[in-house]
Structure 1
Amino acid sequence: MDFRLLKPQLCFARAVDKTPIAKGTIHSFSISAECVIHDRNLVLKPLKRWKTQYNYLSHALNDVPISWIANSSMKIWYFVCINSVTQEPIAKFAVNYWALKNLGNFYFEKSAGEIPDNLRDEVVVTGLTILYTMATRINNPIQLIGAVFAKPGKVEGEEGRPELELEDREQRGKVKTT
């Protein structure tokens, strides 16, 4: 991670050969974030000012809108990556914010053979970028001012889709009927 005062960045590289995969940029004032994954730009746009809900258009899934929603307990912070069109979960990122060594794990809904490498890279990079964006938002009082002046909303191409909270979903990606 490259720490710059006004624009911190996360740099991601493959473990095997150290080739760069992506770069995530966290803004000091704005509550949105940006990623460059395999030389393609993604904008992580907040859906709400005061809740952890972000979305973006996925390059790995041919510009399908993807949403990240979150829920937390006293020990674990759950981030869930959802395909906004089908409302099916893609992955879950569980973060233990009391941990000293193993901070968190990604759990994909499909097996490793069924997930393309570019989708896996995109989910991991956006999930970690959102985690560090939220850590910055929690620890930076300037982010409160940024949240007040932010323009949250859906990315282009996702108008008219229903918004679901994490509690409104059943476990296997189906919408809870009431």
Structure 2
Amino acid sequence: MLNAVFVATAKEETVNPILPLTYDIVWSAVCFVIILFFFWKMILPKMQTMLDERSAAIEGNIAKADEAQEQAEAALQKYTAQLAGARKEAGEIRESARADGANIIAEAKENAVTEAARVTASAKAQIEAERQTAVTTLRKEVGSLAIDLASGVVGESLSDDKKAGALVDRFLADLETSESAKAAK
């Protein structure tokens, strides 16, 4: 039996187990060529068009993104310019309001001074009128008191109005000169 195994193995040793048989290589090559031809003619062109479309879409999106970036930068510059203009205008309005406020305050002070002067003048005129009225009233009363007193001292009746008026005037003049002399001291 051992002889039979050696004989069978001797026949088979002529075939290399690492290398495939010729018919396997031929049929494998034919299948490979058919599949390669199918990929070359059918699938690769479709894949190439799909990749071209995708790259065109990506380039279009990049262009759109660049355009949007430029528009955003332009809008930012415009906004910045408007903001600077608004700040400048706000500053001018503040300064104008301050100047108007100062003018209003000055005008109000001027009106208050004018009104105070008018009220003071009116009060002085009223006081002067009341003083004149008081002086006139006092003259009459002092005059009648002086005439009554003088009548009592002299012992006669001073019924003559001209004499009585002259006597009262002289008495009041003496009284005023004595008050002026006291005030001067």
Normalising by the smaller structure, the TM-score range is: under 0.3
Larger Rg: 2
| TM-score, reference length from structure 2 | 0.19
Looking at secondary structure, tell me which structure has more strand per residue. Answer: 1
Which structure has more relative contact order (CA 8 Å, sep 6+)? It is 1
Q: Where is the helix percentage greater, Structure 1 or Structure 2?
A: 2
**TM-score, normalising length: structure 1:** 0.20
